[in-house]
Amino acid sequence: MSLYTGSCLCGAVRYEVEGPLRPSVACHCSQCRKTSGHYWSATQVPDARLRITCNEGLVWFRSSEKAERGFCKGCGASLFWRMDGEGMTSIGSGTLDAPEGLTTAKHIYVADKPGYYEIEDGPEQHP
């Protein structure tokens, strides 16, 4: 079984994921852009396969009535997103130590995308 590891920039939050990763989904909504500084791309795994190995800096922020975001209080890295009651956690693809083989399956909330960048042809695009 595959084991993936990842962390924030300063190392105060580290995690492991067992098993396969879902292809990334790139979200262009205003919340993702505000929390990451650009669009946010994430894979997703069942909570049972995600293990936080160091949570010294992990803080959860309630970003809407039904979801929260996990980030590092030390370096500010945006790491996780999870919907209440779903039993799944989205993991920022860029926080993985070795994301080789991970692809982008689709772009969502492209209607919210600002004009300063373009979306590449290939993956599906959803308004």
What are 73-123's pLDDT values in tens digits?
A: 999 999 999 999 999 999 999 999 998 889 999 999 999 999 999 998 999
* Separation CA 18–CA 54 (nearest Å): 16
Q: Domains in the chain, ordered, with CATH?
A: 3-113 (2.170.150.70)
Report DSSP letters for 59-80, one per residue.
EEEE-SSSEEEEEETTT--EEE
- Locate 78 and state its tokens: 């945006």
What pTM, to 2 d.p., does this model score? 0.94
Convert the pLDDT of each residue in 53-71 to its tens digit.
999 999 999 999 999 999 9
Going 55 to 72 to 23 to 84, the CA torsion angle's sign is positive
**Contact partners, residue 101, CB within 8 Å, separation at least 6:** none
Convert the pLDDT of each residue in 7-32 to its tens digit.
999 999 999 999 999 999 999 999 99
